[in-house]
Structure 1
């Protein structure tokens, strides 16, 4: 009797496994292995090492200069408490082109990499700007179907532009959810083929009519850039960003099993090098007064769109409603590169959790908090 029950049990398990594979959810096995079987319930800033990747090579490193008051002023009690509660791993402040504050926890240091998550979206849009400057695209309003004609089965697809993808107005059938393992974010993150995930999604509304933050849109943009430049995006990012910016370390860009970079996320780098992306934005696309990316394109990135109700530009979140206007790169679990032009300042925060408080437009209030606390510290010098 027990032997018969055991056989039935094995048959049920085998049937479930077969059903998972047939249904296209085989990535769930990888997801379970990299989360639950490691004591986690979701992706983490340390799991980049479990995925295939390509190197974004640095060139000649250019180290950040430090401010005269470098780390001489203590973090405010409120800031320290928040950073502890959110399990922050890196907190960096660059003021007037020099590092003013730099702190690391949980075994992290200046050069230990961690997962960017959606900070990579901003980098992908910067590569779009560079590709436009290089003549690989006509402009941001060029049609996506010029590069992927098969993605225009109806008028929606024929009207999809690169700008629509960069500004999150694609009309794609994509529910942005990081917790549901059956939705496309998990399939893109843990799956084996990004093309199978994003090209199987349809456009369900006319592009340009509605703002909806979607990782699938940035992944489609990455496919278009890759086809236009004719090389892996990690190589293009190396020659067009990492080397000219003088990054201090190579970075790893996670890929699917086909070797395609996950342009919606997953660059493994550090606070110092992410700060240089912020510095490029702060300086309107220039580095050492030399134009690297068109100032007009940077202005488009940092200008909020009407459809987003003023919260998003192209690859950047924007808060011009606060008394100190700022814009920022934002990744899952509170990865931030916050740019504050009024004070010639950049704040980088990396870590394991993010705060819960949101403003009236559902933006994280952490960016405002970080700005306020750092300004309090600056008044002490």
Structure 2
């Protein structure tokens, strides 16, 4: 029976990988295909590269069916240069946790204390014991992300905020402690675990390096692309299965909680009905990246480290570099900006994406876009003639205002969450919006 299952698994892996090219594990050989062969719009490529260069990009790759179509490096950065993944490494860690689970080293529903011991937080033993591995994977630990240093993994920094599973918050510290969970469960540090189970098979290079409280992955851009191919082929490198737990893979790359529907197991998901962002408890309507294909999943890191996997197009894209603007934690808007141009290059037309900005509606008034970069606009019912607008910071300081307006310049504001107060015909209403870049 075991032999039969192994044969069937190999058969299905073989069928699924037939349309994807995999580069040799050693050496620099990697097949390419020209954009014109794919009927891409080559007249738009220079505009894409100009945008990337103007936003501090160091490396950009696009793979189609595993073959390199676009590969561009900027400045002194080369194919062999190493860049950091930042929080895009979270998605790699999620993949490794899946391997540990399939090997029986851990269960997602084990208490984290089973692996880290008791007292790893400042919580009571009862509260601490309720935090499970799956809560670390889904950003639902219930620990307070509003502490002065959200990267700090010391018990004094890990404070109770809510019951695990009841609140989504992008919090680095509980994620980072997955390293300790993995080491305790598998008896190996993360680098050795990955080397034996992933790097030897895929030809990936790189390693996790400590950086303060964090453990950050560094590799070449092509190595990130190799991981993208591994994900595109659903956890197998060519015909060699690596992550064979299909249930885990499916759960990792789909909505993992009812709060942030655009988050899986440390993966960002496009095509969902709503999303949340770091440092905010606002649930925004619409897709994470409306310019991109619905099926796209993304590993996203600070300063614009991006790995996109697009199953419906058999595409993988990689961007490494410095901050495209402000040093935002997760570059969702920047990723969307790239897709505005990239979709023209590849001649992709979304089938059912609403061509309108995200909007927040309250008391008959629509505020858009939300999140916003330079301006916010107001659409009011016909019965409302005058709108006075006041914007306050999270500290309660009034930072902008306008009288009898339909649009307000917010380009001078720092990135963050703001309170928006409107006064119409003597009535006041309040909502929140996010300022980016």
Maintained 8 Å contact 2:110/2:132: yes
Uncovered stretches (5+) of structure 1, i.e. residues with no partner: 1-58, 177-181, 189-193
Structure 2 match to 1:234: 191
Structure 2 match to 1:42: none
Q: How does 1:1-381 map to 2 (within 5 A)?
A: 60-61=25-26, 63=28, 65-69=30-34, 73=42, 76-137=45-106, 139-151=107-119, 153-175=124-146, 183-185=149-151, 188=152, 197=154, 200-247=157-204, 249=205, 251-255=206-210, 262-263=214-215, 266-293=216-243, 294-320=245-271, 321=287, 322=290, 324-325=293-294, 326-354=296-324, 364-379=332-347
What displacement does 1:367 show? 2.5
Please give the alpha-carbon distance, in whole angstroms, between the structure 1 residues aligned to 2:155 and 2:124: 15
* Aligned-CA RMSD value: 2.9
Please give the alpha-carbon distance, in whole angstroms, between the structure 1 residues aligned to 2:311 and 2:325: 24
Please give the alpha-carbon distance, in whole angstroms, between the structure 2 residues aligned to 1:132 and 1:78: 44
Please give the alpha-carbon distance, in whole angstroms, between the structure 2 residues aligned to 1:363 and 1:87: 13
Please give the alpha-carbon distance, in whole angstroms, between the structure 2 residues aligned to 1:282 and 1:83: 24
Maintained 8 Å contact 1:71/1:102: no
Please give the alpha-carbon distance, in whole angstroms, between the structure 1 residues aligned to 2:105 and 2:257: 28
Please give the alpha-carbon distance, in whole angstroms, between the structure 2 residues aligned to 1:198 and 1:60: 42
Change (3 A) 1:131 1:354: same
What displacement does 1:324 show? 1.5
Structure 1 match to 2:410: none
What displacement does 1:62 show? 6.1
Please give the alpha-carbon distance, in whole angstroms, between the structure 2 residues aligned to 1:109 and 1:70: 21
Structure 1 match to 2:353: none
What displacement does 1:369 show? 3.6
Maintained 8 Å contact 2:149/2:157: no
Change (3 A) 1:133 1:163: same
- DSSP-derived class of the 1:330 partner: strand
Uncovered stretches (5+) of structure 2, i.e. residues with no partner: 1-23, 272-286, 349-437
Please give the alpha-carbon distance, in whole angstroms, between the structure 2 residues aligned to 1:65 and 1:157: 48
- DSSP-derived class of the 2:69 partner: strand
Maintained 8 Å contact 1:211/1:307: no
Maintained 8 Å contact 1:71/1:100: no
Please give the alpha-carbon distance, in whole angstroms, between the structure 1 residues aligned to 2:110 and 2:36: 47
Maintained 8 Å contact 1:198/1:220: no
- DSSP-derived class of the 1:89 partner: strand
Residues 116-167 of structure 1 show CA distances to partners (whole Å, capped at 9, x for unaligned) of 1111111111111010111111x32221121133147333211111110011
What displacement does 1:208 show? 0.7
Maintained 8 Å contact 1:125/1:314: yes
Please give the alpha-carbon distance, in whole angstroms, between the structure 2 residues aligned to 1:329 and 1:200: 26
Instruction: Kindly tell me the number of residue pairs found equivalent between the two proteins.
Output: 297
Please give the alpha-carbon distance, in whole angstroms, between the structure 1 residues aligned to 2:238 and 2:166: 39
- Larger relative contact order (Cα-Cα within 8 Å, sequence gap ≥ 6): 1
Please give the alpha-carbon distance, in whole angstroms, between the structure 2 residues aligned to 1:77 and 1:219: 39
Q: Please state which structure has a larger fraction of its residues in helix.
A: 1
Maintained 8 Å contact 2:145/2:170: no
Please give the alpha-carbon distance, in whole angstroms, between the structure 2 residues aligned to 1:328 and 1:64: 26
Please give the alpha-carbon distance, in whole angstroms, between the structure 1 residues aligned to 2:264 and 2:187: 27
Q: Please state which structure has a larger fraction of its residues in strand.
A: 2
- Larger radius of gyration between Structure 1 and Structure 2: 2
Please give the alpha-carbon distance, in whole angstroms, between the structure 2 residues aligned to 1:198 and 1:64: 47
What displacement does 1:64 show? 5.8
- DSSP-derived class of the 2:218 partner: strand
Please give the alpha-carbon distance, in whole angstroms, between the structure 1 residues aligned to 2:46 and 2:146: 39
Residues 156-185 of structure 1 show CA distances to partners (whole Å, capped at 9, x for unaligned) of 211111110011001112338xxxxx5243
Please give the alpha-carbon distance, in whole angstroms, between the structure 1 residues aligned to 2:141 and 2:117: 16
Maintained 8 Å contact 1:116/1:331: yes
